[in-house]
Chain A
């Protein structure tokens, strides 16, 4: 039984580049009697992406994730994919996770589509034999045909989406995490992807899907998690949360326009 539990999870990002990422500056600090370790509150700017998040996701949940840009959607999905480890708090995940966060990431641009299918499969712990079994099915679903023998750097964004999505959904993970990926294909593929997604959602025990497309969320998800400034703003039944989200957005959009014009 797959389940996810977050208890007071915080995630702080160090942001470099604001202060030069140079050894020289730290060296100078040492020679002037400073400390080697930069105090967290000192020179490096930290951004709190997730702020004391408490969340319980159970077997069978299909959760849509909404929120403004920078509200912590992607950070949360990366924490759940175990890519980022929380700065504070406890995280318990039971079940095998497959995450599709950014279409090009996790693929080698110089390798062909076929090679990337193998590579992705191996990275996700499949054996060669298991991959070979799935390879035809994946290739068929992408509808990319001979393009699969070309390096994927030559693909259009839509074609990359087709490939990445086909691979991700062929693994049949217990927990599936998707971040804004279906949007990019052409209309016929979006339709196909949507159907595939519904199929998978029936097989996967937990699905988390972040999207700005409220229509997809409405049809695909039972619950919606609304994040705001790294905190849960609202978590509940799809219709209830989306209504609140829509009404808030309708109210705030004119204000934002006014702000811009000032």
Chain B
């Protein structure tokens, strides 16, 4: 008899290696969402452009910042934030939405985590297009630090996997997690330096940004796009956060995996 730990790890691993399935699922999600629309997935890019342009204009005046500096900052921040926040918001329902599949065939739960990440990564790429245009247009000086964006993406997607595993399992049992998570995410947006630059904060409150994991996750993507390396602190804090979620989610999943199907 295999232990529940091996069975849980098997599920996660077999789902991850079933890349054909989750790539198709993720791609199909995007295609279906924009089927019968003229612009298709480029609506994602367009709405990003509209948000950044309108907010950039208004808030650069509000914060008395030069638009040339504020716009790339805002665009990079929004790019990272929309990637992170949508994944967190979709976490509670990853397994609930998988209901029609998992009750028909034996299919590893982690396939649906990978599906959610794939889908959002495709959206991320469409948004990235706008940021690249802004960067080129405003001639932001990009350097070799841009490669660190890959490491940042890996940390973000790795964290999303475990957050999804944790929240997805919890929400299957207690459907309260959906509203909890969405209001939490909303608060995070305003409490993190995405619209407002961290430098505007009085130094004695700097800790608020320094120990805010969301702020540090955002900087993993935004900093390289603005031409500098993310800080060592950002990596330390985000990787620690990821490990905490990995541990918590695995502990929960090992215990609940067998019963999860009955909760859906």
Contacts and interface: CB of A to CB of B under 8 A. Distances in A.
A195 interface: no
B174 A26 contact: yes
Contact of A16 (B20, B25, B258, B263): B263
B126 interface: no
Contact of A81 (B20, B105, B176): B105
B104 interface: yes
B261 A84 contact: yes
A14 B262 contact: yes
Main secondary structure on A side of the interface with B: loop
Interface core residue of B21, B173, B174 (most chain A CB under 10 Å):
B174
A84 B260 CA distance: 10
Contact of B32 (A14, A105, A110): A110
A85 B104 contact: no
B103 interface: yes
A224 B101 CA distance: 29
A111 B173 CA distance: 29
A118 interface: yes
Given A102-B104, A105-B101, A119 B261 contact: no
B105 A99 contact: yes
A13 interface: yes
Interface residues of B, number: 26
Interface stretch (A17-25, A57-65, A137-145, A228-236): A17-25
B258 A124 contact: no
B183 interface: no
A115 B176 CA distance: 34
B100 A21 contact: no
B178 to A, nearest CB: 11
Contacts of A26: 174
B184 to A, nearest CB: 14
A14 B176 CA distance: 19
A23 B174 contact: yes
A124 B18 CA distance: 10
B206 interface: no
Contacts of A106: 100-101, 104-105
25 contacts: A14-B262, A21-B174, A21-B175, A23-B174, A23-B176, A24-B176, A78-B103, A83-B103, A83-B104, A84-B261, A84-B262, A85-B258, A99-B104, A101-B103, A101-B104, A102-B103, A104-B100, A105-B104, A106-B101, A108-B32, A110-B32, A110-B35, A122-B20, A122-B24, A123-B101
Interface of B: 1, 20-21, 24-25, 28, 32, 35, 100-107, 173-177, 258-259, 261-263
Interface of A: 13-14, 16, 21-24, 26, 78, 81-85, 90, 97, 99-102, 104-108, 110-111, 115, 118-119, 122-124, 127-128
